[in-house]
Chain A
Amino acid sequence: MSDASFVRTEMLSEQDPPPTSVGVIGWLRANLFSNWWNAILTVLCLAAIWYVLSGLLGWTLRSVWNAGSLNECRDVMIANWGSTHGHACWGVINDRWLQLLFGFYPPELYYRPILAMLLLFAALAPVLFADKVPPKLLYVTAAYPFLMPWLMWGGSIWTPIGVAAGFVVAYLVGRKLGGTASGLVLGILSAVVWWMLWFGLPGQAETFDSGVGRVLVAGLGENLASISPDTAPFWLETVESRKFGGFMLSVLIGVVAIGCSLPLGILLALGRQSNMLIVKAICVGFIEFIRGVPLITLLFVASTLLNIFLPPGTNFDIILRVMIMVTLFAAAYMAEVIRGGLAGLPTGQYEGADSLGLNYWQAQRLIIMPQALKISIPGIVSTFIGIFKDTTLVSIIALLDPLGLSNSIRADTDWNGIYWELFAFIALMFFIACFGMSRYSMYLERKLKTEND
């Protein structure tokens, strides 16, 4: 009989694995103590973790909550533990948390940013969890970009309505001309004309003393001269931009930049791929320029340089300027992330869409973008997170975001010299928001993955 042949005469029955390879002990053995070298590393790591945590937890937990100033804090620490070293003074957060959240927004109007925040969740829900919430909520999403500024800055309801109506005009004109490039341009032009009619020409009107909006209000039976906070319908008390601050400001700038940079980035990415030479050149130039310049520079341009170019007397809101700059900055990065996604698509997808007679925008919207965006989710969310954190840079141009506020809190003699507690609190708030975004992107990736294959 040759060695190569073998016949099993008896079948083996199933047996339990050895106890050292299953359960907790098995897991520990396999992952932490598989050999001497690993065992030593494990012990060293545990020691290091313990060293860091014991210091950190001691500082965090053995701390003072009720104190009106740093000196008071120190007195309590001396009384309790005999030293001021290694104890946090959370009194500052206790004392100033409202300010860290809202800046100098008038406290009696806090309900407005809170309402705006709640509406933000309602507006985001149909976008983020399309399969779990009623699609009717999309109306909230559509109205949100116009409601939010009104809630935050206040003023007449006719302002957001006028702005929104401009978009409707653009849409109607664009649709009449059949979604072509000329339709797009004419749509935008007609919206601009509309806004000029509604709000008056730039420079001519501060808010409300010319244009169709005025006539409309007059038509509603109001004396033009007497439009004032008490008589205009749905008038919200105005809050000036310099009162904005704290986490509210970061969220405001972050949400606007995130919300606007995605569509803008998509357009830039498509423009970069376009056959139209001028469009392509503009998009490439824009992307490369913005990416080659630090955000701080753009913010300085927004805060100081822009005044030189604008006609004197125009009151171009500083927060609006910053929002535009941050949005442009984010859009340039977004465009490159999305371009990566587009490059990952096989040409067959374009040909499949073309061969069915879908036009360019239909193909992009229904076939190309859903797939390209799905590929780019990790990059897109990274950009979102980066931009949200970059909003703290506005403290350099004297806007009171949480970091800017921490400086002004320190400038108060009560809290002169307090650093880590403020930074820890700010870090925690940013961490919660960014971690949330990161988890959502993982959820989305998982969901789309199981859906498609």
Chain B
Amino acid sequence: MAESMHDTMVEREIDRRKMQVSEEVAIQITGMNKWFGMFHVLRDIDLTVHKGERIVICGPSGSGKSTLIRCINRLEEHQTGQIVVEGTELTSDLKNIDKIRSEVGMCFQHFNLFPHLTILENCTLAPIWVRKIPKREAEETAMHFLEKVKIPEQAEKYPGQLSGGQQQRVAIARSLCMRPRIMLFDEPTSALDPEMIKEVLDTMIELAEEGMTMLCVTHEMGFARQVANRVIFMDDGQIVEQNEPEEFFKNPKSDRTKLFLSQILGH
């Protein structure tokens, strides 16, 4: 009885998350391969991300998770195959690359804020120079997003004066100021102390609930359960398994996935 009630709840939740996903394709990766020198990091990656979808990518260290999402905004160059982001294919054309980068926000493990600029300047820089938005307007937008990540009072400080969790939230706000259509996260919480992880995850959950298309490399399985439409497991540069989170954690199919899950959930 309890079992079936739980199941219907899960189904309803899955439906709810599906509702936010549209038919439109945000990212289309087909037959993509990448090498670092002779080392084959990404092998035959096929991945379609729909608009509004939230995807969590996990896998052992060195499996190529970072490399995969860094290929999506061309921080790394792929060698074969195709990556199409918001209808624009990533080629060596610099114009396309800059266009895609301004549509795709990214948050890094080590924040990568600009230490010589204030928080506000960090947030307004790209809108002013890339989007050519007037300074006043850019500052208003920046304050709006800083309020959203709950640190408007830090606007005049420098990144070095903030805690790790605050810095990561600034980094999220900085990306959002560009009004991106897709957000990429590369282990945004793994450089943070436990008490700061929550504040960053809360921000990300809020973002997910507003229907942002998100690709997130993380080992926070609670986050995956709560917001993801799909969990992707990578190993040795390949996508080994993907599924809806509930199913993924309950019934992993591949042995590698089972091993990985037992390791990270084991303690």
Q: Chain B nearest CB: distance from A322 CB in Å? A: 37
Q: Chain B nearest CB: distance from A383 CB in Å? A: 22
- Looking at A352, A353, A362, A451, the one whose CB has the most chain B CB atoms below 10 A away is A352
A353 contact set on B, CB distance < 8 A: 114
A interface secondary structure, majority = helix
User: In whole angstroms, what is the CA distance A354 to B108 when docked?
Assistant: 12
In the complex the two chains form, is B112's CB within 8 Å of A352's CB? yes
User: In whole angstroms, what is the CA distance A452 to B108 when docked?
Assistant: 21
A371 contact set on B, CB distance < 8 A: 114-116
- Looking at A356, A357, A358, A371, the one whose CB has the most chain B CB atoms below 10 A away is A356
Q: How many residues does chain A have at the interface if contact means C-beta atoms less than 8 Å apart?
A: 22
In the complex the two chains form, is B110's CB within 8 Å of A348's CB? yes
B interface secondary structure, majority = mixed
Q: Is B40 an interface residue (CB 8 A)?
A: no
In the complex the two chains form, is A352's CB within 8 Å of B129's CB? no
In the complex the two chains form, is A355's CB within 8 Å of B105's CB? yes
User: In whole angstroms, what is the CA distance A53 to B129 when docked?
Assistant: 59
Binds A, one of B11-19, B94-102, B245-253, B255-263: B94-102
Q: Chain A nearest CB: distance from B37 CB in Å? A: 16
CB contact between A356 and one of B111, B115, B174 (< 8 Å): that residue: B174
Q: Is B133 an interface residue (CB 8 A)?
A: no
CB contact between B114 and one of A352, A357, A359, A374 (< 8 Å): that residue: A352
Q: Is B160 an interface residue (CB 8 A)?
A: yes
In the complex the two chains form, is B102's CB within 8 Å of A370's CB? no
Within 8 A of A (CB), among B61-75: 73, 75
Q: Is B125 an interface residue (CB 8 A)?
A: yes
In the complex the two chains form, is B125's CB within 8 Å of A357's CB? no
Q: Is B113 an interface residue (CB 8 A)?
A: yes
- Answer whether A351 and B75 are a contact pair too, CB < 8 Å, given A357-B126, A366-B125, A371-B115: yes
In the complex the two chains form, is A366's CB within 8 Å of B129's CB? yes
Q: Is A367 an interface residue (CB 8 A)?
A: yes
B116 contact set on A, CB distance < 8 A: 370-371, 374, 448, 451-452
A453: nearest chain-B partner, CB-CB:
B160
B99 contact set on A, CB distance < 8 A: 357
Q: Is A349 an interface residue (CB 8 A)?
A: yes
User: In whole angstroms, what is the CA distance A453 to B129 when docked?
Assistant: 25
B126 contact set on A, CB distance < 8 A: 356-358
In the complex the two chains form, is B115's CB within 8 Å of A453's CB? yes
B129 contact set on A, CB distance < 8 A: 358, 362, 366
B103 contact set on A, CB distance < 8 A: 357
User: In whole angstroms, what is the CA distance A356 to B126 when docked?
Assistant: 6
Q: Chain B nearest CB: distance from A243 CB in Å? A: 46
B110 contact set on A, CB distance < 8 A: 346, 348
In the complex the two chains form, is A452's CB within 8 Å of B158's CB? yes
Q: Chain A nearest CB: distance from B63 CB in Å? A: 20
User: In whole angstroms, what is the CA distance A366 to B122 when docked?
Assistant: 11
User: In whole angstroms, what is the CA distance A362 to B111 when docked?
Assistant: 20
In the complex the two chains form, is B161's CB within 8 Å of A357's CB? no
| Interface 0/1 of A329-359, CB less than 8 Å to B | 0000000000000000010110111111111
- Answer whether A352 and B130 are a contact pair too, CB < 8 Å, given A357-B99, A357-B178: no
Minimum-distance CB pairs A-B, first 3? A357-B102, A352-B112, A356-B126
Apart from A371-B116, A452-B158, what 5 extra A-B contacts exist at CB < 8 Å?
A348-B111, A355-B106, A357-B130, A359-B98, A452-B115
16 contacts between A and B (CB under 8 A): A348-B108, A351-B112, A354-B73, A355-B75, A355-B101, A355-B105, A356-B102, A356-B178, A357-B102, A357-B178, A362-B129, A362-B130, A366-B125, A370-B116, A371-B116, A453-B115
